Structure formats: structure tokens, C-alpha cells
Amino acid sequence: MFDAIKSMPAKVCLSLSFLIGIAYSINFIFFSSCSVVNGDGDCFSLIPNGADPSHESYGRGAGTLYVAGALMLGAITGNLLILNEGARGKWTIMIPTIAGFTSLAIVLAPPFQGGYEAVNNTPLFATIAALGLYVAAYVMLKDEGVDEGLAFNMGIKVNNEAKYAIIISSVIGTLYSINHFFFADGYAGAGGSTLIPGFEEGSYWDDPIAATPIGYRVLASFFVIYVSMGLILLTNGAKGNWPAAHVLLFGITFFALSVIIGNIAVNDQIIPEGDNAGTWEADTSTSGSNIAVSGFVMFLNIFAYYKMREEGVEEGMTFAGEAPENNDDFFYKMYPAVTGVFLVLLLIANYVTQV
């Protein structure tokens, strides 16, 4: 199994980091509403957050966790791609992922949580474990050519219309990353300035289900992964860079669909215990802008991939280590099929498990 990777320790590290990621992804996508209330009441959570009803985080931020689960799922598809297709040249996946999970570990660390402390450090420990395993795999895969073609260029190497789509998408991702890293308090409605308009100032204190600022910093950490992959494609050219292009396409698609479906479903949050016990309606004041921006970014990435095919992005592409009979199979068959399955899972998550 996974014969494309020769190093058994690297294979184990990649597999374990994937298992950590998939556990949190499933928990956040399907059970975020129950997770934030520690599984209390008539509720199931795969990984309860452990919050006491008196803690500020109890009942807060199910929506941001749900989106974070989709972003994480997109990121860990890179693990499966490397395990299936081999490590050669996959620095385009691994370095951005290391950067993103390093950012995640930093924002989850107590010194950087600000005035909105997490209930416990379990997510931090899980992140450190997954990051450590992933970095170890990267080091061990150097003998298998993971750094082949490694280069950080300044110029734009994509020549057709795809470059404009990547640039616009990267700018949007960068703006949201900066906003969520440095202006999360203001965006969450807790007070302070904000780069991108968010919730009304003071709304955080009146809404017991509002996401804490740390939740938006978590989203920003995942944005780092996808922005970095976009920049690598832009500055290294499309030719042969299908691994990063595939992970980027799936990741942005999962993210956008989770935002769109989540903001259409808008499940109320039930808080079973504590001073805020009861059913609370979600604040939808940012729903329109979130749907529009995420949908636009998804369209940009689909268009960019389509145009990069003209510049050879699928050159050397493999499925399970073998060249496909037809390169059209990914974009016209595999990508729509996987997207369709994910869409069904989101519908189940929003209309069955999250109510």
C-alpha cells in the first residue's frame, strides 16, 4: 500500500498526520455544533472541546470550526497525493502546508491567544503532533527527491489569462489572512479596527454563539497554505506543477462550498447548559459577502486551472503512479465527481448532523 513512497518511516508519518487531520475535519464538518457545547444534551461530538458551561468559549464558533474543517480536509488531500504518487517534486505541497500548520500552532499557543483563551490546549497539541510528523516526513523524503525543482522566484512565469485569476485570488486570500491574523477582534465584533468589514462592533458581547477572534486566526492559518501554493504556481510556472494545482483546486472548492452551503442552511445553535442555555439564531450579517467572495475565488481557481492546462500544468501527471490514459480525466471526471461527493456530505452535515 502506498508503494510510491519508499521510506516506511516517512510513510507512517504522513499517514499519522493525515489521520489527525481527518479526525478533526470530520468532527468540525459534521459535529461542530455539538463540539462547541462539549457534546452536552442530545448531541454527539467526535472530539468535544471540553468547555465548561461557564467558560466563555462554551457554545461559540461552530460556524468557523465548520469552515476550518473544510479547509483542513483540502490541505490533507496533499498527504494522500504524496502517498499515492511519490515524493519527487512535492515541495510545492509540503512547504506551504508546513507554513500553514506552523502558523496554526502559533495562533493556538497561549501567548498569542489574546484575551479570548481556548478552553484547553488539546488542539494545540494535536497541531504540534501533526506538524512534527509532517516535518519529519519532509526531511526523510529528501532522499526521494521531494525538493526536486525547488526554487523561489520573483517573476511571474504563468503567461496566459490564468495569471490574472491567480493574482486576484492571491490578493483576496492575503487580505483576508492579514485581516484575520491582526484584526480578528474587530472582525468578530469584539471591538477594535478591522481591515475587512465584519460584524457590528459590540455584537460579540451580545451574541453567545459568536466565534471568538482566535477562530478567525485559525482560518487565516489555513489561508496561508492556499495563498502560498498559488504564489508558487504563479512564480514557478504551470508546467508540471499539477500536485500543487490539484490540492489548491480541491482546497478552495471545499472551502467555498462549505461557506456557501453553511450560509444557506444557517443552523441555529443550541446551548443546553449554563447562563446562555437556549436556542440562538446565527448572525447572518456577513453571509452575503462571504458567499460572494468565496464563490468568486472558487470560480477564479477553476478558471486558472482550466487555462493552466494550456501551459502544461498536467505534464507528468499520474494516478496511483501511472500516467492516465487521458489527461482530461482529472478535470472533467475526477474533480467533478469528488466535488459532487463533498457537496452531498455538506448537505448531510448541514441538514442532518448539525441540527
> Domain segments of the chain: what residues?
8-353
At residue 266, the pLDDT reads: 87
Distance CA(354)–CA(31), nearest Å, equals 6
pLDDT, tens only, 233-285: 999 999 999 999 999 999 999 999 999 999 999 888 999 999 999 999 999 99
* H or E element, residue 199: none
At residue 355, the pLDDT reads: 59
pLDDT, tens only, 111-165: 887 777 677 889 999 999 999 999 999 999 999 999 999 988 889 999 999 999 9
Distance CA(299)–CA(169), nearest Å, equals 10
pLDDT, tens only, 158-173: 999 999 999 999 999 9
321 φ/ψ angles, rounded to the nearest 5 degrees: 85, -5
Distance CA(248)–CA(246), nearest Å, equals 5
The model's pTM is 0.95
Find the mean pLDDT for residues 302-308.
98
Half-sphere exposure of 12 (CA within 13 A, CB side): 3
At residue 47, the pLDDT reads: 93
Number of neighbouring beta carbons within 10 Å of residue 119: 18
Distance CA(321)–CA(160), nearest Å, equals 29
Distances (CA, A) of 282 to 11, 139, 178, 355: 42, 44, 25, 13
At residue 267, the pLDDT reads: 86
Find the mean pLDDT for residues 14-30.
97
pLDDT, tens only, 52-92: 898 888 999 999 999 999 999 999 999 999 999 999 999 99
